Structure 1
């Protein structure tokens, strides 16, 4: 039997129901991401180091400093 992942919703969720964002779960060996509006549809998974790089690129792109 497997334990369910500890999903956490982004603190930047919009709207009153908070369902317009992503949820992230840290499973130690990988980071999983899913759509909070349709969590059963599927997940993306990244090794922790690749996820950290992914987040850093997103931060740069949204701050307008990406080249």
Structure 2
């Protein structure tokens, strides 16, 4: 056993839609907002990529 508990796994920040927010601290809420904002950006980028690909395919077969 080490003097410091560096060996224990870090809790991964996650968010479940509809979960009870009353138990979270302001810092935890901020972390979740950041997490969800990054995920929204990732989803929008993928949607843009797929839309461009779809448009290219539709133009090819016109």
Instruction: State the TM bucket, normalised to the shorter chain.
Output: 0.3 to 0.5
| Structure ID, larger Rg | 2
- TM superposition score normalised by structure 1: 0.33
Which of the pair has the greater relative contact order for Cα pairs under 8 Å at 6+ separation?
Answer: 2
- TM superposition score normalised by structure 2: 0.35
